[in-house]
C-alpha cells in the first residue's frame, strides 16, 4: 500500500491493550510505532478507539499512512 499513489488510504492501529471501558474522548496519536505511557503500558478503550476512528473519518489528518492511537 505504501507505493499506492492513486488511492488515499489510511490504516488505524489500536494500542497493545484494547479493552472495554468508559469513553473519555482523549487519546494520543502516533505514527508507525506502538505508543506507550510513562509506565510502558499501551492501552486504549474500545470506546475511545471508536472515537479516534470517527475523528479520522470526519476530519482526515492521515493520508497514505498507518497511525496508531493510545492513552
First to last CA, the chain: 27
- Structure confidence at residue 48 (pLDDT): 97
Range list of H helices, 3-71: 46-58
55's grid cell: 475523528
The gap from C-alpha 14 to its chain's centroid, in whole angstroms, comes to: 5
Mean pLDDT value of segment 18-22: 93
For the chain, percent of residues with pLDDT exceeding 90: 86
pLDDT exceeds cutoff 90 at 1: no
Half-sphere exposure of 25 (CA within 13 A, CB side): 0
Amino acid at each position: 500500500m505504501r507505493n499506492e499513489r492513486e488511492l488515499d488510504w489510511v490504516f488505524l492501529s489500536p494500542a497493545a491493550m484494547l479493552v472495554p471501558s468508559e469513553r473519555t474522548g482523549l487519546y494520543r496519536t502516533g505514527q508507525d510505532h506502538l505508543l506507550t505511557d510513562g509506565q510502558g503500558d499501551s492501552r486504549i478503550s474500545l470506546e475511545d478507539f471508536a472515537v479516534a476512528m470517527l475523528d479520522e473519518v470526519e476530519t482526515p489528518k492521515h493520508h497514505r499512512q498507518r497511525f496508531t492511537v493510545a492513552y
